[in-house]
Amino acid sequence: MIPGGGQPNMQQLLQQAQKMQQDLANAQEELARTEVDGQAGGGLVKATVTGSGELRALVIDPKAVDPEDTETLADLIVAAVQAANENAQTLQQQKLGPLAQGLGGGGSSGIPGLPF
């Protein structure tokens, strides 16, 4: 897979790997700072997570609070957090997917510890 059929330049390969590793670390840091929203119940419950999946905020509209039916509120909270996490996973794939493929990863055989 070497252009020209020659031997790989190990120094060049090492530099490329180090650059991809740095790019990956930078993308992961950016994900940790980026906030993504998800909502449920037509916006009655809104969750904010970081691009790395950390829950940062939860907003509950007072109309969603019924002391006689806390189960529905709990379901809305779970759904809002799940929606936010799905959006965070999409963001992770956009930011990290190309980098992981560049490191020989992609799919379930990607870099250990990454969620794709």
- pLDDT tens-digit map of 61-93: 999 999 999 999 999 999 999 999 999 999 888
Complete domains list, the chain, with CATH: 32-90 (3.30.1310.10)
- 59-68's contacts with Cβ under 8 Å and 24+ in sequence apart are none
pLDDT in tens, 10-66: 888 888 888 888 888 888 888 888 899 999 999 999 999 998 889 999 999 999 999
CA distance 40 to 9: 53
Backbone dihedral region for residue 68 (phi beyond 0: left; psi -120 to 50: alpha; all else: beta):
alpha
User: pTM of whole model > 0.75?
Assistant: no
